[in-house]
Amino acid sequence: MIKKISLLLIVLITITLSCERDDICAEATATTPHLIIRFHDASNITATKTVRSLSVIGEGNSTNIVFNTVTDSIVLPLRFQNEGEITTTRFELKKDTDYDTDTDVNTNSNTDIIEVVYTPQFIYVSRACGYKSIFNDASLDIESDTNNWIINRDILNTRIDNENAAHIILYH
């Protein structure tokens, strides 16, 4: 009986000691950050300004990232394939996505397209978490059309490596 208990204790101690703290990726561990965009008033650049009925979709996708929301900021995912390769992600930002409920037709919307260009860099986090991406040399262009609602932009941080603050301001 003592041999069985001793054997069981040895097995339990061996299992406990063979597990490493790294085997589980903690929820608080920083992962690949999203792009944070704040909206400001074009006539008072220090003041935030909400966008009515904002919908955002990544170009080439059918799923909305943001849908019919009133907000003064958005969080957008950036694509990445190869480390060190200049990458472009385009988003359609549609404001005033109001629908006529009788005809199910969008009546007053205005869509602007933004293009975010950056270079992904992969950073090793841990054995359990693997790698995360950060984005260097970020820039943003607003595609010009006959009725842009986004007037201008400011790049606050060209390195997207956390989600602690806005990276870009869009003025409308």
Listed by start position, the domains of the chain span 22-171
The pLDDT assigned to 3 comes to 60
pLDDT tens column, 91-127:
999 998 765 555 555 567 999 999 999 999 999 999 8
The pLDDT assigned to 125 comes to 92
The pLDDT assigned to 4 comes to 56
pLDDT tens column, 28-51:
888 899 999 999 999 999 999 999
Closest by alpha carbon to 35, among 55, 59, 65, 64? 65
Q: Looking at beta carbons, which pairs linking 84-88 to residues 24 or more positions away fall under 8 Å? A: 84/119, 84/120, 84/121, 85/119, 85/120, 86/117, 86/118, 86/119, 87/117, 87/118, 87/119, 87/120, 88/115, 88/116, 88/117
Residue 54 has pLDDT above 90, yes or no: yes
